[in-house]
Amino acid sequence: MSQSEDSSFARPFADTFVGSTVAGNYLIEGILGEGGMAVVYKAKQVSTQRHVAIKTLKTQEQVISQRFAREMKTHAKLHHKNIVEAIDCFETTEGAYFVMELLNGVSLFDRLKSVGRIESAEDIYAIVAQILAALEHAHQFQIVHRDLKAPNIVLLNTANDSVHVKVLDFGIAKVQDDMQRLTGQGQALGSPLYMSPEQCMGHDVSNRSDLYTLGILGYELITGDLPYAYPRLAQVMAAHCDPNKRPKPISESRPDLGNVETLNQIIMKAIETEPDKRFQSASEFHLALDHWIQTVRNGTNIPLPRAILQSVTSTAKKELRSKPSQRTTSQALTQKGNNRSSKGQVDQETAVKNFLLGLAVCCVIITTAGLAFAFRENIKDAFINISITVSSVLSPVKPADEGLADHSKQETPAPDPNTNKRRPGERRETRNGNHTYRVF
């Protein structure tokens, strides 16, 4: 449904706000840019007299405006030198407004359109590395951009001609999705030329989706072309989802770049179809990029270490185990129902096992106690014998006469009750001080 078909949904004229004051503090001076769903105004903040940019949606639908306000408040949590600064966010009867710093620069889209690809290896590194720094900061807050593309990257003008990047529109893609559902406009969330496979298929996205999109964007700024260039967007999205589709190697377009084979490895890993084969975090991507630029500066062609190429973080492994990809809602509900239905049976089986185990333990205790009582005399004799053995080891028996023969293996005759004299082979114990001697 086009805007002209539903004038109640869209604001008819974006320039009607020019010259007016919004929220009593922002004087609208002109239009900076306009897209299919939003307008960005240049305004002066009356309280500080500084110029700012104000973004507002082209709809007055309350649900969408409230969603926009929530997402912009989430964006306001991000404070990073490579993310556009959030100044204010407020709602009026006419909609929600997001106030941000006014950037003095040019979008990467306009830069690529007017000049072409980024030639310098140092500039390529600076742009991609700063975008990664912004993503790394946002991902720490569980904020996924969802719509990285060249128009959302601004290259600021600096005094020393160094590259300074600002990333725009964190969270705006969620609002765009709401607008598409209400109006029927658009086919999928995000920009199809840059979308990750999971976005194309309507699956849940994670930080790895942003890394895929950055890989596509990196390919574009390095070569000047998108990796999948087809006349129809459906063909582009199909290519994103096909693991057998691989773009032309960067080395064929940019043989002039230092260690271009390693750079090609990095970009191709970032745009793997399966999320678990990509870099698992912005920091891993950044580490690989640092390795490449160091080899360029040193004039070497050292490939990426195997540890970087095969890296899968423990967090990603846990996520893959706990959240299987391509799992439908119906499958999840069915599994949940099966779990509930079998829970009672599992609990009952566990209770029976515990009862039988306890009964067995009681039987063992009772049996042991009975045996101990029945054979208490034998146990007593056993302990006495053990004590005698230990005593003989610790205090060995010494013969009274060293020249006396050993008769220990001979049969000992019975003692004569009528005499106190010792018969040959008769054993008699005598004490000498603290020692006991067995005399034969």
What is the rounded distance in angstroms from the CA atom of residue 393 to the CA atom of residue 197? 80
Return the DSSP state at 311: -
What is the rounded distance in angstroms from the CA atom of residue 438 to the CA atom of residue 408? 11
Tokens 């018969």 belong to residue: 423
Burial (CB count <10 Å: 0-12, 13-18, 19+), residue 320: middle
What is the rounded distance in angstroms from the CA atom of residue 107 to the CA atom of residue 87? 21
Q: Any catalytic annotation for residue 147?
A: yes
**Coil, helix or strand at residue 97:** strand
Residue in 169, 170, 181 with CA at minimum distance from that of residue 9: 181
What would the two tokens of residue 312 be?
Answer: 């899968």
Residue 90 makes CB contacts below 8 A (sequence gap 6+) with 23, 69, 96, 97, 99
Largest CA distance in the chain: 141
Burial (CB count <10 Å: 0-12, 13-18, 19+), residue 80: middle
What is the rounded distance in angstroms from the CA atom of residue 133 to the CA atom of residue 214? 12
- Residue 115 and residue 109 in contact, taking contact as beta carbons nearer than 8 Å: no
Residue 439 makes CB contacts below 8 A (sequence gap 6+) with 399, 400, 401, 422, 427, 428, 429, 430
Sign of the Cα pseudo-torsion (227, 229, 233, 236, in order): negative
- Residue 89 and residue 138 in contact, taking contact as beta carbons nearer than 8 Å: no
Q: Is 316 left (phi over 0), alpha (psi -120 to 50) or beta?
A: alpha
**Coil, helix or strand at residue 165:** strand
Residue in 440, 186, 406, 206 with CA at minimum distance from that of residue 325: 206
Please tell me which residue in 147, 169, 178, 210 is annotated as part of the active site.
147
Residue numbers annotated as active site? 147
